[in-house]
Structure 1
Amino acid sequence: MENVVEPAFQELPASATQQLDLDQPVPSQEAFLQEFRRLLGAITLRLRQHPVIVAHTENNFDGSGVRRLLSNKFEFDKLLDSVWREVPRERKDKQASKEYLRIALDRIADSAGLPPLGAVGQVDAVVNEAFKMAKADDLRAVDEAEFKKLLTEVLGAVMLQLDASPVAVSTNTVVHEPMCTSSSSSALLSPTPLSPMVSSPASE
């Protein structure tokens, strides 16, 4: 908007700018379309002179990462031991509240091929459902064995749900914008139909 669209508005003749003012009534549909075409022409010219390169990637969360983690018992047990050591617990009975299950799950999300909690709404919904299925949402204190068992059950439920209904996320990131005075990038996460992972620059 700042580097392409707004400068294109400024390049239009004063009369055109006034007609495109959103606060002013448009005389006719024909007049609006005429000025809109002029604006699109100015935008096209600026993009030809200063192309914006965008990297496009698509990530499919289909539960395969969780399956790989659960199938490697040695590595998974090491991971469970690691997250349990980080969980605050009562010294007396060595128990921890179930509320820390979500923190523990977030710590191992990358190893399970899952996005961080809060990053992808569709995956968060799957995780919330998995917690309900495992009855892991109350604040009752549990010992180490039950904590690890519940975390395993939650991961298993997430895996089954994603296997049945995978979530695909498309990410578009500006990687080269010569018109910017400072380095910046913009990213958009949005659900898309399933397709293979793609990562390639494109000019707009």
Structure 2
Amino acid sequence: MGMAAGLKRDAFVILRINGEELLEFLKSPTFESDTLSIFSEIGLPGGSLQDNIMEAFVKLTVDQGMPPATDPWVVSNIVKPALQSLGDVSGQPVSQATFLVEFKRAIESMAQHLKEKPAIVAHSQNTFDGSGIKKLLSNKFELHKIMNSAIESVPKGQNGEISKEYFHGALEILASSAGLPPFGTQDKMDNIRAEALKTFEVNDQKMVSEEEFKKLLTQVLKTIMQLLEANPISVSVNSIVHEPHASSSTPSSP
């Protein structure tokens, strides 16, 4: 049974990766072009063949039949044995032709090891398309409640004014209620936030009124929403699931 046999469990799908999809990827008409594209993305001038192949493994997805390549179990049981199948090209620069041949060899070896030791992977796919922000902004009651919670979390001056230096912390509170990941956990989402913040002066530590602070938060959220609506971001999370050992039962004595 291949990877397609998934069991939904909350937001995750449990996948059994046994090498079948890797072999399908290997036989696909796009394998060569995909491999050369990966090679050009790696950019390891002077790197060894093993370094390049390892980086290529990291770029493969579960859809292509690749379990998370940096997971300790995968490294020990699948990746290292596959790397041992590579030819000896030490001391030579890794050319496209060499990489293509050796990557194919490594994929074949990896598929065989996965056949012998299938990887059980918890997989989730989340797409940030601005819908969470849109839902929050359209619910005036919920927005008012979350906005007040964010405002209460930041210090205020004598006149009730708020320094913009606390803007990022308040935005983080709103973002979590709008279905966005915490800052610093997803590079692509961090870039979207940075792009949205360019439009507004939020780093000048200027004191503003509470209403102006709320207005600024709302404007930034709307900008993030518009950016995500134009270019949704898909984030995949994969982790190895270690199945518990079956407990053996001892028959009772007659």
With the shorter chain as reference, the TM-score category is: 0.5 to 0.7
- Give the drift of 1:52: 0.4
The alpha-carbon deviation at position 50 of structure 1 amounts to: 1.7
* Partner of residue 118, structure 2: 51
Out of 76, 90, 104, the residue aligned to residue 2 of structure 1 is: 76
Matched, 1:169 2:235: yes
Displacement, 1:176?
A: 3.4
Q: Structure 1: which 5+ runs fail to align?
A: 13-18, 180-204
**Residues 65 and 113 in structure 1, CA contact (< 8 A), matched pair in contact too:** yes
* 1:8-157 pair list within 5 angstroms: 20-21=87-88, 23=90, 37=105, 42-90=109-157, 92-157=158-223
3-state SS, counterpart of residue 110 of structure 1: helix
Shift of 1:101: 1.2
- 2:123 partner amino acid: H
Aligned match of 1:190: none
8 Å CA contact 1:62–1:159 kept in 2: the answer is: yes
If asked which structure has higher relative contact order (CA below 8 Å, sep 6+), I would say: 1
Assess if the C-alpha contact under 8 Å between 1:131 and 1:137 holds in 2. Answer: no
How has the CA–CA distance of structure 1 residues 67 and 6 changed in structure 2, closer, same or farther, with 3 Å as cutoff?
same
Distance in 2 between residues matched to 1:44 and 1:83, nearest whole Å: 50
Letter in 1 for 2:118: P
The AA in structure 1 aligned to 2:136 is L
Aligned counterparts of 2:197 and 2:82: Cα–Cα separation in 1: 51
Q: CA RMSD in A?
A: 3.0
- Partners of 1:82 and 1:130 in 2: CA distance: 22
Compute the TM-score of the two structures, normalised by the length of structure 2.
0.55
| Distance (Å, rounded) in 1 between the aligned partners of 2:215 and 2:149 | 15
In the aligned structure 2, how far is the partner of 1:47 from the partner of 1:2? 12
| Alignment size in residue pairs | 165
